[in-house]
Amino acid sequence: MKQKSAFIAIIGRPNVGKSSLMNNMLGQKVAIVSNKPQTTRTRIMGIYTREETQLVFIDTPGFHKPRNELDRNMNKAVGEGMADVDAAALVIEAVTAFKSDGEELPPAEAELIAEIKRRRLRPILVINKIDLLAKKEDLLKIITKYTSLLDFEAVVPLSAKTGDGVERLIGELKRFAKEAPHYFPAEDITDQPEKVMVAEMIREKMLRILDKEVPHGIAVDLERFVERDTASGELIVEVEATVICEKDSHKGIIIGKGGATLKRIGMMARKDIEEFFGIRANVKLWVKVKEDWRNRQGLIHTFGLD
Ligand SMILES: Nc1nc2c(ncn2[C@@H]2O[C@H](COP(=O)(O)OP(=O)(O)OP(=O)(O)O)[C@@H](O)[C@H]2O)c(=O)[nH]1
Ligand SMILES: [Mg+2]
């Protein structure tokens, strides 16, 4: 059997469901997901191998107007994610997409469409969250508008949440696979090291529990990540991490009354880590303030976000 491969960039505005879609296609959670925009901060590969075909998905941060140095790094990661791909899946949200003829596209989406044209990428339009669409006739309006702006090779309405339409998308993406050896072993599912995945699991819990600006100003610095045998001979994984935040007031919020919030975050993260590794985990978290770290390239680099 001759091997076939394709690299597919998953791009779009923040919060449209890019990471949810990649996870659903992989059948496994590789990228963290939250209801807050700018959840994904770096390029994350998801590897899908079935028989002779390997699709390498590149999940990217939501493209948005930058407000700090971290945002600029994130937008840069989108551009890098679009380099040398065989196709670009532009993900939009059915509910917030264009509805009436006079309405403009969100600026970030217009920019991405321009970038797809400039790079001469082969585009696919993914209309996500159709489970939330009350009026099905809106779908037709969305398709008419977007296909008038770009010559999409396929248009796939789907729900990354219910899985409705996801198989059809995979079928469309497989058409981009060219004869080439697989880049990754069949058992690989992501390029992220385990250490990064653990730090991300912790950050995800903070995005879920904390509000407003607080979770956006957080980075997780994993200081210890080891497997060891306990006295009773049981294998456990030990995780110690420092949660970096931007202000003293944020630190107070993250820790919570009597440490309750931080404890809750640690417990939720422990559950995920235990499920992921299939063994018991100990999770210890500390909180540290690094003022305005999102504008300090050195710290951004330290946290692996460039
Ligand atoms: N109802 C519904 N919600 C969805 C669907 N897909 C994603 N979501 C939700 O939309 C929110 C954003 O999902 P993400 O996958 O984190 O979105 P993203 O595009 O990766 O976001 P960024 O990483 O911030 O750019 C989460 O709350 C998801 O649960 C869908 O098909 N239907
Ligand atoms: Mg994401």
Q: For residue 44, which phi and psi values (nearest 5 degrees)?
A: -130, 125
Q: How far apart are CA 143 and CA 126, in angstroms?
A: 10
Answer yes or no: is the C-beta of 282 below 6 A from any ligand 1 atom.
Answer: no
Residues 263/243, Cβ–Cβ less than 8 Å: no
Output the pLDDT for position 137: 86
Which amino acid, 163? Answer: G
Which amino acid, 82? Answer: M
Which range (79-93, 124-138, 163-177) has the least confidence? 124-138
Q: What's the DSSP call for residue 104? A: P
Q: How far apart are CA 82 and CA 251, in angstroms?
A: 36
Among the bound ligands, the one closest to the CA of 128: 1
Greater confidence (97 vs 167) lies with: 167
Tell me the Ramachandran region of residue 298: left when phi exceeds 0, alpha when psi lies from -120 to 50, beta otherwise.
alpha
pTM of the model: 0.96
- % the chain with pLDDT above 90: 93
Q: How far is the CA of 258 from the centre of ligand 1 (A)?
A: 33
Among the bound ligands, the one closest to the CA of 15: 1
Answer yes or no: is the C-beta of 18 below 6 A from any ligand 1 atom.
Answer: yes
Q: How far apart are CA 199 and CA 213, in angstroms?
A: 19
In tens, the pLDDT along 260-299 reads 999 999 999 999 999 999 999 999 999 999 999 999 999 9
pLDDT at 129 over 70: yes
Q: How far is the CA of 33 from the centre of ligand 1 (A)?
A: 6
pLDDT at 100 over 70: no
Q: Quick one: which of 8, 70, 57, 62 has its CA closest to 40?
A: 62
Pairing of strands 235-245, 280-289: parallel
The mean pLDDT value of the chain amounts to 95
Q: Please, what are the domains in the chain?
A: 4-179 (3.40.50.300), 194-302 (3.30.300.20)
